[in-house]
Amino acid sequence: VTVYNNAQSETAKISIGVAQGSILGPLLFVIYDNDLPNVLESCHVTLFADDTVLYCSSKCPKLLQQKLNSDLTRVCDWLETNHLTINIKKSKFILIGSGPRLSRLSTSLVTSVGDTPLEEVESYKYLGVMISNNLTWHDHIEFIKSKINKKLGLLKRIKNYLPLHSRILFYNSYILPSFDYADTVWGDRGNETLMADLQILQNKVARIILDLDYGSSASSALKKLAWKDLKTRRIVNRLILIYKCKNNLFSYNFEITYHQDMHVYNTRSKCNIRKSAARHKWGHWTTVNFASNDWNEFPQGIREAKDLQTFKVYLNSFIDT
């Protein structure tokens, strides 16, 4: 039933699917496709509304192709049984690995849905993050820069009509989220040049808001606005992530081990995170290993704050001193 302007439509029965526009639509769809992972044998799946990612790993390219195609066939059968269709045009295939390993591949992998091969791409945007096949974040940083530059152009055109507090509100609402989004994953991973490019953009925003010349001091502008530079913001966000994990404030799929878990006796570093062993730089750059460096350097009193809000207050106070 649809109601609009006090007018009500006739009642219609739904035999399959979920009615679009209904309040319960998103929840019903999640329930509807909740059993998709049960049909897979080799792959894992991540479901977010109607975005579905199928992934698996193997050192052997042929075995990897076999696993993917086998489970893709099962997915197609499940979709047909549940009266759903896959959008082939939006479905892509990406082979992720280190640069040297990808360059050593003699043949390309072929994955297909039915008789239709999936397009292989070198990078793909998933939930707002550009994921590259060589595990670098160059494409994502360029994506962020492009978005922010467009918003900077808009700010330049309207700033003369806005008071200072409205310009700052524009930054906090439309630009800052682009700097912060998922930075616990991509931030500072050996990307000094790319991180510097983003900092240049933040400096540019500060000068525009304060009507300063291009050559004016960026640090003075940030200080006047009481803004943290982006590197400091990334550290803060990583520390908040670890605090939430430590206190079970949200679910996560990685393991955090503390020194106190390894010893039966007290040590000064008992609350420090024990870094996982890694043979390659990719292992050192995992979220937990990278964030543990920041966590272990901060005073224990801050890390043991009683709640998240208190932790943020202590943390910001410590950084600002």
The tokens describing 86, both together, are: 């896959």
Tens place of pLDDT for every residue, the chain, 321 residues?
777 888 888 888 877 767 777 788 888 888 888 899 999 999 999 988 888 999 999 988 889 999 999 999 999 999 999 888 888 999 999 998 888 888 888 778 888 888 899 999 999 999 999 999 988 899 999 999 999 999 999 999 999 999 999 999 999 999 999 999 999 989 887 778 999 999 999 999 999 999 999 889 999 999 999 999 999 999 999 999 989 988 888 877 667 776 665 555 555 566 687 766 666 666 666 777 778 888 888 888 898 899 999 999 999 999 887
Contact 176, 234 (CB under 8 A): no
Residue 292, by phi and psi: left (phi above 0), alpha (psi -120 to 50) or beta?
A: alpha
State the pTM of this model: 0.83
Distance between terminal CA atoms of the chain?
60
Distance CA 154, CA 304 (A): 43
Instruction: Specify whether the CB–CB gap between 135 and 282 falls below 8 A.
Output: yes
Residue spans of beta strands (DSSP E) within the chain: 3-4, 7-8, 44-48, 51-55, 92-93, 112-113, 116-117, 119-120, 123-126, 129-132, 257-258, 273-274
